[in-house]
Chains A and B, each alone.
Chain A
Amino acid sequence: MKQPKTLYEKIWDAHVVDQRDDGTALIYIDRHLVHEVTSPQAFEGLRNAGRKVRRPDLTLAVPDHNLPTTPRLDAKGNNIPIADPQSAAQLEALEANAPAFGIKYIGASDINQGIVHVIGPEQGFTLPGTTLVCGDSHTAAHGALGALAFGIGTSEVEHVLATQTLQLTRSKAMEIRVDGLLGPGISPKDLILHIIGVIGTAGGTGHVIEYRGEVFEQMSIEGRLTVSNMSIEAGARAGLIAPDDKTFAYLEGRPMAPKGADWDAAVAYWKTLPTDDGAVFDKSVTINAADVAPTVTWGTSPEDVVPVSGTVPSPESFADPSKQDAARKSLDYMGLEAGQALHDVAVENIFIGSCTNSRIEDLRAAASILKGRKKADNVKWAIVVPGSGLVKAQAEAEGLDRIFTDAGFEWREPGCSACLGMNPDKVPAGERCASTSNRNFVGRQGPGARTHLMSPAMAAAAAVTGRLTDVRELTR
């Protein structure tokens, strides 16, 4: 009998080009997504060394991080220039580098443009059983479709462009098993925030996490993308969820997905990928789904989570002295007091978007809360940023844009937006933001900005009440 293998081991083994005696291996990369921020120095490196892109056909370039989310075309259909000269130069570099190296480029005003991690699955570029990389840590998202997907630095981007491979050390396999199902009103975002709270931001370091259990089988692909996306927030370079009929149904007919006989052959192969019975994980964590409540972050690390019905923890409640110190600094930065009820915390800004939560189901969830309601007066700035032009068009076809604008939200063009404070969408210093993004680091949404991470429905609920709110109060 063959040795039982995990999904991770199967994908790894199928991509070893050359195994070194010291345990590292040259791994073939099937898919490479490129964006404007982490690629210019890589293209420059290729140019300086006189190298070509080995497989432009396996590479896809799209701008997302820097791009303003305000309208891109004027009334005559001409591009509106980008005000920030540095951003403009970086975007122009990608626009020039992609065709110069023969890479397909989806431009800013193309309806297919969007956040790299939204368009990969959406275009059928991301496939189960493939290795996929991008110079962005949230590449972990694509593991939702059963792809071994991880973020890389710019030197690695250059290495993949030149050789279509990476020299890697095999990670350990970690299982996060979730028992039971999520309660009503509890979303995949609540689940992944809860998981990060349990294992910590270094809990998955050196590991690839496979998420297992019925909750993931029942979860939509978009929900799975939200979960796998934040694997990096738990320290794991990649997350994985076994491909199943939902995965195949999601991918079938997507523009870049296999067609006809190729599709059938692909599905037959993908069905062999799930972890075998008896396969051994290096580390295993069990989570009880019944423990997951609508969750928000209180501090400046994604592990600083608490049910929204709870209170801000006291620094002394942590066993580790350095965590106590970090908690004190976080509370100071966040302007919170130990023991304060989270639902008393007022928010001035709402951000619905990012590669974690900007897909159509996210927008539907937020709109279902906002329908017929308005944002509270103390909410000064509320924006919805669809993850791609296709998501935006779908939302508009469903009338969701009207629900958002009627509620007092701005309806924006696709991009990374206020997730990372590098384009014009920023949260002012000292103000709070109920945000569906993935990182609540100091200064992440702008210098001095105070981020509370949560699900789209919870961000919508916060917009309505003007404070952190258990969304279930609005749905009863």
Chain B
Amino acid sequence: MKPVTRVEGRAIPFGQKNVDTDVIIPAKWLKTISREGLGEGAFEAIRAEEGNIFDDPEYAGANILIAGDNFGCGSSREHAAWALADLGITAVIAPSFSDIFSGNAFKNGLLAIAVPQAAIDRLMEVARTDPITIDMESMSVTTPFQDRFTFEMDPFRHQCLVEGLDEIDLTMAKSDAIERHEKNSDSAKPWLTPVAA
């Protein structure tokens, strides 16, 4: 994974709450066996509407999305994160995220940044005219107008993002501990191995 230390750019002031994964990418787009090309189906229903914000020339090339509470609720489809990435989005800022979505975003180096609603309100306003900066070192979102909103992030995820670590490699380095767990459970709970039906 590429390290992510800073995301800077125009943001789409979308603002909707409870944006579910079927809105981000409808199921018919899930038939692919690739991670690429899903941007075409991203927010399909919304983008079918005349004058929608995603196709507003003002936000052409925007790489940040600002949304409301509970972004990414619903299904576990990682296609939601892939679709956003394919749209060119590298960070989503919202008051809260569904647990599965924020995990999926993290795995793809897509920042899911949670800040309070008051900060969202201000960022929505700024986004209409000016860029926004997310800095991973200081864990803050800033605007050209001296606004500064700090955010928190799981330290493990933060480290992986900033250093661009591959999580599977990290875990495989712990294969001794995994083997130990397996040996213990084989002797204490032999019934855990499924009967080959």
Closest 7 CB pairs of A and B: A155-B107, A258-B191, A255-B197, A153-B78, A422-B27, A151-B76, A153-B104
Write out the residue numbers on chain A whose beta carbons fall within 8 Å of the beta carbon of B171. Answer: 26, 159, 162-163, 165, 167
Contact A125:B191 (CB < 8 A) given known A235-B73, A422-B28 = no
Question: Which stretch (A37-45, A72-80, A280-288) binds chain B?
Answer: A37-45
Contact bitstring A349-367, B, C-beta under 8 A = 1, else 0 = 0000000000000000000
Check B23 against A441 for contact (C-beta < 8 Å): yes
Contact bitstring B102-138, A, C-beta under 8 A = 1, else 0 = 0110011000000000000000000000000000000
Q: CB < 8 Å: which of B26, B32, B194 contacts A443?
A: B26
Chain A nearest CB, measured from B180 CB (Å): 8
Q: CB < 8 Å: which of B33, B74, B185 contacts A89?
A: B33
Q: Which residue of A lies closest to B22 (CB)?
A: A441
Interface residues of chain B, those whose CB is within 8 Å of chain A, are 16-18, 20, 22-23, 26-28, 30-35, 44-45, 68-70, 73-78, 81, 96, 98-100, 103-104, 107-108, 154-156, 167-168, 170-172, 174-175, 177-178, 180-182, 185, 189-197
Check B99 against A153 for contact (C-beta < 8 Å): no
A474 at the interface (CB under 8 A from B): no
Chain A nearest CB, measured from B42 CB (Å): 13
Check B156 against A26 for contact (C-beta < 8 Å): no
5 A–B pairs (Cβ distance < 8 Å), ordered by A: A17-B181, A156-B107, A162-B172, A237-B100, A322-B68
Check B75 against A155 for contact (C-beta < 8 Å): no
Interface residues of chain A, those whose CB is within 8 Å of chain B, are 15, 17-18, 20, 22-24, 26, 28, 30-31, 37-38, 40-41, 44, 49, 51, 54, 57-58, 60, 65-66, 84, 86-87, 89-90, 93, 104, 123-125, 127, 130, 135-137, 139, 151-156, 158-159, 162-165, 167, 169, 171, 201-202, 205-206, 232, 235, 237, 255-259, 262-263, 265-266, 269, 301, 322-323, 326, 420-422, 439, 441-444, 447
Q: CB < 8 Å: which of B27, B45, B70, B108 contacts A201?
A: B70
Q: Which residue of B lies closest to A60 (CB)?
A: B194
Q: Which residue of B lies closest to A151 (CB)?
A: B76
Check B178 against A155 for contact (C-beta < 8 Å): no
Check A153 against B103 for contact (C-beta < 8 Å): yes
Check A37 against B30 for contact (C-beta < 8 Å): yes
Chain B nearest CB, measured from A327 CB (Å): 11
Write out the residue numbers on chain A whose beta carbons fall within 8 Å of the beta carbon of B175. Answer: 163
Check B18 against A326 for contact (C-beta < 8 Å): yes
Report how far A31 CA is from B185 CA in the complex, Å. Answer: 14
Report how far A31 CA is from B192 CA in the complex, Å. Answer: 9
Chain A nearest CB, measured from B29 CB (Å): 9
Report how far A194 CA is from B61 CA in the complex, Å. Answer: 43
Check A125 against B194 for contact (C-beta < 8 Å): yes
Write out the residue numbers on chain A whose beta carbons fall within 8 Å of the beta carbon of B81. Answer: 153
Chain A nearest CB, measured from B68 CB (Å): 6
Q: Which residue of B lies closest to A158 (CB)?
A: B168
Report how far A123 CA is from B185 CA in the complex, Å. Answer: 22
Check A40 against B45 for contact (C-beta < 8 Å): no
Check A26 against B76 for contact (C-beta < 8 Å): no
Report how far A336 CA is from B145 CA in the complex, Å. Answer: 44
Check B189 against A269 for contact (C-beta < 8 Å): yes
Contact A57:B196 (CB < 8 A) given known A136-B75, A201-B70, A202-B70 = yes
Report how far A206 CA is from B108 CA in the complex, Å. Answer: 21
Check A266 against B172 for contact (C-beta < 8 Å): no
Write out the residue numbers on chain B whose beta carbons fall within 8 Å of the beta carbon of A202. Answer: 18, 69-70, 73, 96, 98
Check B195 against A259 for contact (C-beta < 8 Å): yes
Write out the residue numbers on chain B whose beta carbons fall within 8 Å of the beta carbon of A439. Answer: 20, 22, 74-75
Write out the residue numbers on chain B whose beta carbons fall within 8 Å of the beta carbon of A38. Answer: 76-78
Check A93 against B33 for contact (C-beta < 8 Å): yes
Check A235 against B70 for contact (C-beta < 8 Å): yes
Write out the residue numbers on chain A whose beta carbons fall within 8 Å of the beta carbon of B189. Answer: 265-266, 269
Q: Which residue of B lies closest to A85 (CB)?
A: B31
Report how far A105 CA is from B191 CA in the complex, Å. Answer: 21
Report how far A304 CA is from B69 CA in the complex, Å. Answer: 17
Check A86 against B181 for contact (C-beta < 8 Å): no
Given pairs A26-B174, A165-B178, A301-B20, 8 additional interface contacts (CB within 8 A): A41-B34, A153-B76, A163-B172, A164-B182, A167-B167, A167-B171, A257-B195, A269-B189
